[in-house]
Every structure is written in structure tokens, then in C-alpha cells.
Amino acid sequence: MKTRPLGSSGPQVSLAGLGCNNFGGRIDLEASRRVVHKALDLGITMFDTADGYGNRGGSERALGEILGPRRKDVVLATKFGVQMDDAGELKGAARSYVPRALEASLKRLKTDWIDLYQIHWPDPKTPIEETLRALDDAVRQGKVRCIGCSNFAAWQLVDAQWTSRHHGLTAFVSCQNEYSLLVRDVERDLVPAMQAYGVGLLPYFPLASGLLSGKYKRGAPVAKGLRFDLMPQFRDRFLTDGNFTTVEALEAFARTRGRTLVEVAFGWLASRPTVASVIAGATRPEQVEENAAAVGRTLAAEDLAELDRITGKA
């Protein structure tokens, strides 16, 4: 498994990352264990979860139970900020809440430190300096190694990085944002900002929530149990005529080159500037194996240019 640095100051991470959002929710502990063990066997070291995954804590608890002594072999990333209680008190990025969220995650994960601690969504009610000071405290205490952000716009990243530099605080080493052949919005402003500040990109939804897996066909019913069946909000967003037209062109591109659509989607992401690790979820060991193999399939310059044309970015 190839590794890359996470930004200019973060740790080395595997090019294929394991998204753990299915643990404690879509799949049970034993199924999660099989997925984790396969990832470890393949040399995947980047494990990404969040306190909100798995019905508020289930994913972290599963990882804490499964990793055991292998904890030291992975770069363990989690997130905070989403609502963790019915009363709406446990959420956000205020300095009073960050330590509480961190301690809860450490307990569920059964670890003394988190390698990458990320704010899950921007908190409009909390100044970024306040959040960064809380995260800087966690780094100085040795409970967090690096910090990152998720779902930040370019201006929010720049504001955060400037604030860190101006006040001598720990700075973000990574951004985790949606990025795929079908969703390329980050290229306009965020990626240039990341390049300027030496920040690494952890793309999520690399298969456009499953549309780039090849499992969905125009006009065909959605099979029971798939993401678009269980989460209609994603189905309504992704299953559009325009997206199907693009996917059909991508499938033809893959066929003519003897590749799968997944290999094209992952190989393309691995070629993009600032991408450190491609975060992909899995419910079965076979999916982990497929994802790990796919990121290693490089694309020639002319292939990348053709993909730009197909996706309307030429």
C-alpha cells in the first residue's frame, strides 16, 4: 500500500483510507471486525470515523473494541461537532464543549490519543479562534497529534490558517470534503487555498455516494439495502439524468481501457493535487480489497484530459 504525507506537516497515511461510518449502524460488530482486519491486512493505516457515526458513538465504540493492540499501527481520525444528544446541548465547537467531546471519543475508542481530530462542520456560533485554542490545548496535552477540518469553504480554511499563524496556535493539516468525478466544486477555490497553506485533502464520497460503483442503472429500481434505498436524500440528489449521462460515458471510458468504474474513480482521485488518502466506506472485506487495489491504478495524462472532458471540466 502506497503512503503519502497528510499535508506538509501531518503523518504518513495510506493512499486508500477506510471510512468507518457504517460501523455501529449499517453493520454489526462482527461484520465491522472483518472489514477492519481486511484493511489492516492490506496495509491500510488511515481510519476515519466521527463521534456521530453509528447512532451517536457506535462507530467509535466498534473501533475501540476491534483495534486493541493494533491501535498503534493506524492513523486514527475522528470528528466532533454534530449533535450528540436529544436536548441539543452536546454539539458545536465552543471551547467549553470541545474537551467534553474529546474525552468522550477517547473513552469510546479506548485510546489515550487521537492522531487527527477534525471539526465535522463549521460552527457559525463560535469564532474560529475559540475553537482553535481548545484544539491547541488538546495538542499540548498530548491527547491529539494533529487537527483538521471537514466541510469548510475556502474562505473558512484561510481564516482558520491565518488565525493559527497570527496567534501561534496549532494549524489544520487537512480538509475532509466531498470530492469525486461527479462533484468537483472544491477545485475552484478550496484546493488552491489548500495548496497555498500546505494542507492535505481527504476526499469523502469518492464514488458519489455509490453512483460511481456501477450498481445503479438509469430507469432501474434501486435494490433494497443499498445506500440510495436507505437514504432517500442521497438518492434524490445523485440519481439525476445528468449524472447518469456522465456515468454512462465514464463506464464506456473504463471499458475501452480494461478497467472498472471504481478503478477509474479512485485512480483519478489519487492523481489530484493535495489528495493524501481516499476515504471509502465498506460493509464487506471484498469491498476493502477492491478499493485498495483501485487506488493503485494510475491514469495517463491523456486519460485525465479525457475525464475532464467527460465531466465537463475540460
Task: For residue 152, give the C-alpha cell.
Answer: 469548510
Say which range, 42-46, 158-162, 236-240, 247-251, has the weakest mean pLDDT: 236-240
Q: What is the pTM of this model?
A: 0.94
- The residue extents of the domains of the chain are 3-217+265-297
Counting residues of the chain whose pLDDT is more than 90, the rounded percentage is: 87
Task: For residue 140, give the C-alpha cell.
Answer: 499540548
Establish whether 53 is a catalytic residue.
Answer: yes
Per-position DSSP letters for 72-138, written without gaps between them: GGSEEEEEE-S--STTS-S-S--TTTHHHHHHHHHHHHT-S-EEEEEESS--TTS-HHHHHHHHHHH
Q: What is the rounded average pLDDT for all residues in the chain?
A: 95
Which CATH code, of 3.20.20.100, 3.60.15.10, 3.40.50.1110, 3.60.110.10, is assigned to 3-217+265-297? 3.20.20.100
Give the tens place of pLDDT for each residue, 168-185.
999 999 999 999 999 999
Q: Kindly state the DSSP code that residue 210 receives in the 8-state scheme.
A: G
Contacts of 302 by beta carbon, 8 Å cutoff, 6+ apart? none
Give the tens place of pLDDT for each residue, 203-249.
999 999 889 988 888 888 877 776 776 777 777 888 889 999 999 99
pLDDT at residue 258 greater than cutoff 90: yes
Catalytic residue among 53, 97, 179, 204: 53
Residue 122 CB neighbours (<10 A): 20
Give the tens place of pLDDT for each residue, 269-297.
999 989 999 999 999 999 999 999 999 88
Q: Give the model's pLDDT for residue 192.
A: 97
